[in-house]
Structures are given as structure tokens and as C-alpha cells.
A = this chain, B = another copy of it.
């Protein structure tokens, strides 16, 4: 395939570099950060551009791998009559952002946290594809399967649910670790002591249902401990008292108390 890419950040670099091995012809790399664009273009043997209107239209596929909020703007600058397939790589962006303007539209979303410089085992990265026509799905399946054993056709709503779930399971759980570290550090206690429990909790949640794995004072409806924890937070870090209260109430709501005569 003749492929061009818009974007030269982490996703663009990782994705294009991984696809390089499969014999595609890379035509243009277009982006705002000239040094990044030139570096990626050099790696791929492609032309470096900073103006979208300069993109060579004699291609099969254009990958838009830019920040989510910039996708709409990039699409508005494309020639509406182009026949090539245009895809974005975003978990949370509807395919409509492209298909409302472009005839052949799709999504190729790799579920992975990309860091610059790190190696990715692409064969295990789940790739979610979506397109507005069967022949475009076929193209994306073929491309996805060059990279990964795990290619799934998912709707925009399913992809969004996955991205949103990852925010809870990864970003918010990490923020809970962050609060934990602040709490112990304020008392001169080493956060590393919690490492085995953190790892065991994550392990368990991936082996059995997290709802079954739930433990703690909120789940036990231990009002004495809940009150004590709240008082401690109000004294030492009041901004986290609301968080503690909200999450504890929700856990109590999800794990209804069993009357003691039924225990």
C-alpha cells in the first residue's frame, strides 16, 4: 500500500515504525513540529511536509495520528473528493468525525500506552478497527493483522467504552496510588511498604471479577473505621476527605450490608 501519515508524536512514530517492516510505500509525513516530522520521514523514507494541502493524493491510505481534539481540524483541511481511505487512531473519537466529510473513512485504534523510546510488543497489542464500508474493513483487518494477533471490529461506542474504562482502571487507580503515597509520606512512612498489596490487588482483579475481589472497611460497612479514616483525612489532608467519602458510599451501595442474622 501507498501510505501517508499526519502527526509525528508518540502514536504516529510507534505505529508507522512498526508498519515499516511490511513493505508499504511511505509517501508523506505531515505535521507541525518540523524536527519530529523530518526524523520520522527519514526513518520511513518518506517526504516531510508541514502543510496538509501539499499531501500527495496518489495514495491508498492516510493515517491521522494527532491529538484527539485536533482530528476534526485536520479532516476539514483534506480534499473532500479524495478516494483514498482516511483513518484516525483515537479511542474516544467517533468515526463520523471523518465519515461526515470523506467517502472512505475508518479507525485503527491500538489500545496501548505509548512512551517515546520504549519497545512495544505489537503482537499482543489489541487493535480495534471500524470503517464505513466492508472493503475498508478488509483493508484495516489486513493492516492490523500485520501488527497484532488481536484485531477486533468494534463500534465507536464500544471503543469509547473501552477508553473510558481504561481511564477508571488505569488513570484513576494510579491517582489512588498517588493519594496513598501522599498520606503515608506525611507521616514519614515508606510508600514502598504498600507495593506487594498494590500488585496483589491488580493481579487478583485480572484473575477474578473485581466486584468479587472487593475488600475493605466500606465493603464491610465498618462505620467505626470509616469515621476514623475520615477524621484523619480532615485533620491532615482535607481535600481527600470528599474522595474517601464518595468512594466509600458507592462501595457500600454496591455491596449491600448483609443483616447479621443472615451472616
Contact = CB atoms under 8 A, between A and B. Distances in A.
A89 to B, nearest CB: 14
A112 B196 CA distance: 9
Interface string A210-250: 11011111110011110011001100100110111011001
A154 interface: yes
B247 A243 contact: yes
B171 A194 contact: no
B158 A169 contact: no
A158 B229 contact: no
B206 A183 contact: no
22 contacts: A68-B222, A92-B228, A92-B229, A111-B193, A113-B215, A164-B183, A164-B233, A165-B179, A166-B197, A168-B177, A169-B176, A169-B177, A169-B198, A170-B201, A171-B217, A173-B173, A173-B198, A173-B201, A174-B204, A174-B215, A199-B202, A242-B246
Assembly of this chain: how many copies? 2
Nearest to A92: B225
B168 A254 contact: no
Contact of A247 (B172, B228, B232): B172
A160 interface: yes
Interface stretch (A15-23, A42-50, A134-142, A184-192): A184-192
Interface of A: 67-69, 92, 111-113, 124, 126, 154, 157-158, 160-181, 183-184, 186-189, 191-206, 209-211, 213-219, 222-225, 228-229, 232-233, 236, 239-240, 242-244, 246-247, 250-251, 254
B174 A232 contact: no
A92 to B, nearest CB: 5
Contact of A210 (B157, B178, B204): B178
A194 B176 contact: no
A201 B206 CA distance: 13
B158 A187 contact: yes
B179 A168 contact: yes
B233 A177 contact: no
B181 A161 contact: no
A167 B232 CA distance: 13
Nearest to A254: B178
